[in-house]
């Protein structure tokens, strides 16, 4: 048996007619950029997320950047996030001109640790009550925002994040690129902070047939600014109120996404079903740490990630058995060459550093068959017994 880590073709074949006709419709209407299809998808996605506004954007990285710019975060500001994420989270901060400050994750959820967040604020910052701003004592920069990343499909502890944000006047941008449809106490990913950013990269739970992203918010002013920013700062054609950029979503992606959105809940349910099978079949396997799901959150398993000690050996064993797997992420951002300028060192984020050594993503997609999951689990158990 051959089991891929993910298989986009299988999903396409289940909705081929719907997709093909939506694409043909886009061609017939010549609605290629930010047209009628984009508007339709934006309305449906906003409703799905339980917010007033969704704005389609060219990719998730740009969505994060646009969100920060629109929140007014830039030069001289600090944005807190985690070192255990895809680089886009941090690129957006630096491209906006701000400085990233990392806090460690919690090992169970792989998400930002509220305890560490509080410790950074209380131990390294000072509250300026006159200007109502939190100041980092070492750099003297103003701490303006937090980006919790909802990694692998499970949301961060948003009550704790929002409590600290309210207390210290911080803006919260949720990086929901891996968490379409995930919930925290029944609220959808991206809808709790001031603004949320999504990626629709093809492999995501809601994936385009190319690049795509979105920003969601309940705030009318923010939504208007996002719309203007992604269209060169214009509200009326050729009247530029400020300088923006071209980050608009294209019509084909919106057409595909609008078809797929109708299936997202079923697909997420199928992912949960698959995860439950893995959980049950692997639960007593020595040396394999399974993903923890928090009782107040609905996980959408963008990835099903286990942790083992001798990862290279397991990955080879899986590969020799025709099973795909991947590592997200092998090196944390504070240890990457790109961020040596931030001055962090090995040992600064022990939970992150421990997790990156052992994480392995097993095959996970809605169309994965029970037989395939059983086979993957048998192979993992065989590896455990032969070690």
For the CB of residue 52, give the shortest distance to ligand PLP in the complex, in Å: 23
Structure tokens at 106: 């919690």
Q: How far is the CB of 56 from ligand PLP (least distance, A)?
A: 12
Q: Which is nearer to ligand PLP, 247 or 317 (CB)?
A: 247
d(CA 307, CA 361): 9
Shortest distance, position 211 Cβ to ligand PLP, whole Å = 6
Min dist. Cβ of residue 178 to ligand PLP (A): 5
* Residues binding ligand PLP (CB under 6 A): 59-61, 85-86, 88-89, 149, 175, 177-178, 199, 201, 211, 213
The residue behind tokens 């911080």 is 170
CA distance linking residue 90 with residue 113, whole number of Å = 17
Cβ atoms of 32 and 56 within 8 Å: the answer is no
Residue 169 C-beta: closest distance to ligand PLP, Å: 25
Q: Report CA Rg, the chain.
A: 21
Task: For residue 387, count other CB atoms closer than 10 A to its CB.
Answer: 13
Which CB, 65 or 375, lies closer to ligand PLP? Answer: 65
Which of 314/328 has CB closer to ligand PLP?
Answer: 328
Cβ proximity to ligand PLP, 184 vs 317, nearer residue: 184
Q: Please check whether residue 197 is in contact with residue 64, taking contact to mean a CB–CB distance below 8 angstroms.
A: yes
Minimum CB distance to ligand PLP, residue 150 (Å)? 8
Tell me how far, at minimum, the Cβ of 329 lies from ligand PLP, in Å.
10
Q: Residue 62 Cβ, how far from ligand PLP at the closest point, in Å?
A: 7
At its nearest, how many Å lie between ligand PLP and the CB of residue 291? Answer: 16
> Which one, 61 or 183, has the nearer CB to ligand PLP?
61
Q: Which is nearer to ligand PLP, 196 or 372 (CB)?
A: 196
């Amino acid at each position: 048996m051959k089991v891929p880590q993910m298989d986009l073709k299988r999903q396409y074949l289940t909705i081929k007619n719907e997709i093909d006709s939506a694409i043909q419709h886009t061609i017939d209407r010549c609605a290629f950029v930010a047209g009628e299809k984009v508007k339709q998808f934006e309305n449906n996605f906003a409703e799905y997320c339980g917010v007033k506004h969704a704005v389609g954007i060219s990719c998730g990285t740009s969505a994060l950047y646009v969100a920060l710019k629109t929140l007014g975060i830039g030069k001289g500001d600090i944005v807190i996030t985690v070192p255990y994420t895809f680089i886009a989270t941090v690129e957006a901060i630096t491209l906006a001109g701000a400085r990233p400050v990392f806090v460690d994750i919690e090992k169970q959820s792989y998400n930002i640790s509220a305890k560490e967040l509080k410790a950074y604020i209380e131990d390294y910052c000072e509250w300026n009550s006159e200007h109502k701003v939190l100041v980092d004592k070492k750099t003297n920069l103003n701490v303006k925002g937090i980006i919790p990343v909802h990694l692998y499909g499970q949301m961060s502890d948003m009550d704790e994040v929002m409590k600290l944000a309210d207390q210290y006047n911080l803006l919260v941008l949720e990086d929901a690129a891996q968490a379409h449809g995930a919930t925290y106490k029944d609220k959808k990913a991206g809808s709790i902070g001031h603004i949320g950013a999504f990626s629709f990269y093809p492999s995501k739970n809601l994936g385009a047939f190319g690049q795509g992203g979105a920003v969601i918010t309940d705030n009318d002013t923010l939504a208007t600014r996002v719309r203007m920013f992604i269209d060169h700062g214009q509200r009326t054609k050729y009247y530029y109120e400020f300088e923006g950029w071209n980050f608009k979503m294209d019509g084909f992606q919106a057409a595909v996404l609008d078809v797929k959105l109708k299936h997202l809940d079923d697909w997420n349910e199928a992912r949960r079903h698959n995860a439950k099978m893995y959980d049950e079949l692997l639960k007593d396997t020595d040396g394999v740490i399974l993903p923890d799901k928090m009782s107040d959150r609905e996980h959408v398993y963008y990835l099903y990630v286990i942790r083992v000690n001798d990862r290279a050996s397991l990955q080879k064993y899986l590969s020799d058995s025709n099973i795909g797997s991947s590592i997200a992420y092998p090196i944390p951002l504070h240890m990457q060459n790109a961020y040596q300028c931030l001055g962090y060192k090995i040992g600064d984020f022990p939970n992150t550093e421990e997790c990156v050594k052992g994480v392995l993503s097993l095959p996970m997609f809605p169309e994965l068959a029970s037989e395939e999951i059983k086979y993957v689990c048998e192979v993992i158990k065989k590896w455990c017994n032969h070690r």
